Amino acid sequence: MNKNNFDINSLIRPNVAKMRPYSSARDEFKDFDSEMIFLDANENPFETNVNRYPDPQQQKLKSILSKQKNIPSNQILLGNGSDEVLDLIFRAFCEPAKDNIITLPPTYGMYSVLANLNNIENREVLLDSDFQPDLDEVSRTADKRTKLLFICSPNNPTGNLITSEKILKLLKTFNGLIVIDEAYIDFASKESWIKKLNEFPNLIVTQTLSKAYGLAGIRLGVCYASAEIIAVLNKIKPPYNINELTQKFAIERLENIIKIKSDISLLNDEKIGLLKALVEVTFIEKVYPTDANFILIKVDNAEKRYSQLLQKGIVVRNRSSQPLCVNTLRITIGTASENKKLITILKTLE
Ligand SMILES: Cc1ncc(COP(=O)(O)O)c(C=O)c1O
């Protein structure tokens, strides 16, 4: 899809297209640092450090992300976790009971939860045995009411990247919006697709501070897209969706990018060690390659091994109910001592 034949207006829900953004008190007056007297938002004037509403546009946080990622602030939207960003995308573009989306299982479960919640048909096109999308099947499955295609890369729970060739082909041919969920991209050997935003107006990239950035508890997800798409999402987001504490905490962490990078590098080193050690465990039949901070393994009996690990105090995720994932467990990379303990225990199981 190129810029000449793409019209975002044809994809927006009619009611959303007509909406004007809700204007909050803090939208109308943004000058937080001045010595003004704020009697406009029915806040409590007594200082608690959080008695004022947070910046609804999170300008400071976005300007840091903008510099680090080399993407203008007007192409960034922040959400209460990337789960909120994904929900906003559904609500902006998918007309309940009329439109449909395509997902590529086995994949992240929230796409189907959000489709259900928003009363949108979820058309599932299974990945192939290499966990790559079947492009012919995607094109056969799409119709005029297919608004979104979700590509999770690196994919959860399989851990692999979707190949650039496949994604490029989809970006060029798919008639709706393509959402590439890059929750795990910071662990991957390939670059983010955010570099391609200006080339593909139908591309939306979501990322999160929950994984590599170590901030799952503050709930901060990021959406990168064209300024036009971001403007649509901005119209429908709750005015103060990113709270003050989250904004402060994220700014602090992002300002120490060296520490983030060193944590990622430590985890990737741990992953290499864990991959080698898992291959040697007798009941593990397959260790899948991974570009994420987790490893999918196929075992002889997932339920049995899951329970044995639980009894020893180690919680992993049994993914056997997912298509193509019979007898698989998903293991997150922990600290060096946690991983060592995991391997020691795995080797003792009978
Ligand atoms: C692929 C994928 N996307 C999104 C999320 C949710 O991220 P957040 O914590 O930003 O809501 C997860 C969490 O597990 C995930 O695996």
Question: Do the domain assignments include residue 41?
Answer: no
Pair (324, 235) in one structural domain:
no
Domain membership of residue 90 (yes or no) is: yes
In a domain, 33, yes or no: no
The reply to whether 189 and 151 lie within a common domain is: yes
Judgement on whether residues 11 and 159 belong to the same structural domain of the protein = yes
Indicate which CATH number applies to the domain containing 185. Answer: 3.40.640.10
d(CA 333, CA 317): 12
Domain count of the fold of the chain: 2
pLDDT of 2 reads 60
CB 156 less than 6 A from any atom of ligand 1? yes
Same domain, 119 and 192: yes
Whether 40 is in a domain gets the answer no
293 in contact with ligand 1, CB cutoff 6 A: no
Domain shared by 250 and 262, yes or no: no
Q: Which token pair is 71? A: 């993407």
Statement to judge: residues 247 and 303 lie in one domain = no
**CATH number of the CATH domain containing 333:** 3.90.1150.10
For ligand 1, the distance from its centroid to the CA atom of residue 137, given in whole angstroms, is 26
The answer to whether residue 341 is domain-embedded is yes
End-of-domain residue from the set 255, 274, 289:
255
* CA torsion angle 113 233 81 98 (round to 10): 0
**Which residue among 255, 271, 302 closes a domain?**
255
Query: Where in the sequence is the domain holding 209, given as residue range(s)?
Result: 3-19+58-255
The pLDDT score that the predictor gives to residue 80 is 98
CA 82 to ligand 1 centroid distance, Å: 6
H, E, C per residue of the chain: CCHHHCCHHHCCCHHHHHCCCCCCHHHHCCCCCCCCCCCCCCCCCCCCCCCCCCCCCCHHHHHHHHHHHCCCHHHEEEECCHHHHHHHHHHHHCCCCCCEEEECCCCCCHHHHHHHHCCCEEEECCCCCCCCCCHHHHHHHCCCCEEEEEEECCCCCCCCCCCHHHHHHHHHHCCCEEEEECCCHHHCCCCCHHHHCCCCCCEEEEEECCCCCCCHHHCCEEEECCHHHHHHHHHHCCCCCCCHHHHHHHHHHHCCHHHHHHHHHHHHHHHHHHHHHHHCCCCEEEECCCCCCEEEEEECCHHHHHHHHHHCCCCCEECCCCCCCCCEEEEECCCHHHHHHHHHHHHHCC
31 in a domain, yes or no? no
| Co-location of 301 and 232 in the same domain | no
38 CA to middle of ligand 1, Å?
37
Residue 138 CA to residue 348 CA, distance in Å, equals 44
* pLDDT of the residue at 32: 59
C-alpha to C-alpha distance for 335 and 20, rounded to whole angstroms: 48
Indicate whether 185 and 140 sit together in one domain: yes
Which atom of ligand 1 is least distant from the CA of 221? 10
330 found inside a domain: yes
**93 C-alpha to center of ligand 1: Å?**
20
Pocket test for ligand 1, best of 83, 114, 213 (most atoms within 8 A of CB): 83
Q: Is 246 in the pocket of ligand 1 (CB under 6 A)?
A: no
294 and 174 in a single domain? The answer is: no
* pLDDT by 10-residue block (mean), the chain, 350 residues: 78 95 76 78 96 96 98 98 98 98 98 98 98 98 98 98 98 97 97 97 98 98 98 96 98 97 98 98 98 98 98 98 98 98 97
d(CA 74, CA 307): 48
The verdict on 138 and 278 lying in the same domain is no
Which residues on adjacent β-strands are paired with residue 204? 179
CB 209 within 8 A of CB 215: yes
Q: Is 181 in the pocket of ligand 1 (CB under 6 A)?
A: yes
- CA 179–ligand 1 middle distance (angstroms): 13
Domain closes at, from 228, 255, 282: 255
pLDDT at 33: 62
214 plus 272 within the same structural domain:
no
218 and 280 in one domain?
no
Q: Which atom of ligand 1 is nearest to the CA of 107?
A: 1
Asked if the structure places residue 24 within a domain, the reply is: no
Q: Locate 122 and state its tokens.
A: 């979820």
